[in-house]
Amino acid sequence: MSDIALRLSGPNGTETRLLDSEEAALICRPTTIELLRAIAKEEPASIRETARIVERDVRQVHDNLWTLGEHGFVEFERTGRSRRPFVSYDEIELEIGL
């Protein structure tokens, strides 16, 4: 099996991790890229606001963000009853060894 390396770069440095093909597929989905860009650019205050920004159903966005959180691609800050999604990096680099 070939290695798939993911580098997350941001103000706090660079983190590199190896992914399995399922995680690589998750991060490469157009909906994932759209969510990550919206979070990084718009800094939404909640999951609901994130859904509004990407013009998608709140439940779908919640489920997508929760999955991304389980894999460590998104973090959440609790603010009252809401959870504010955020990313601590500003660039993702994927390297696939053949």
Kindly report, residue by residue over 7-64, the tens digit of the pLDDT: 999 998 999 999 998 999 999 999 999 999 999 999 999 999 999 999 999 999 999 9
Burial of 65 (0-12, 13-18, 19+ CB in 10 A): buried
Kindly report, residue by residue over 64-80, the tens digit of the pLDDT: 999 999 999 999 999 88
Ranges of each domain in the chain? 4-96
At residue 2, the pLDDT reads 58
Name the pTM for this structure. 0.88
CA–CA separation, 33 vs 62, rounded Å? Answer: 15
Residues 6 or more apart in contact with residue 55 via CB below 8 angstroms? none
In three-state secondary structure terms, 17 is strand
The CATH classification of domain 4-96, taken from the options 1.10.10.10, 1.10.260.40, 1.20.1370.20, 2.60.15.10: 1.10.10.10
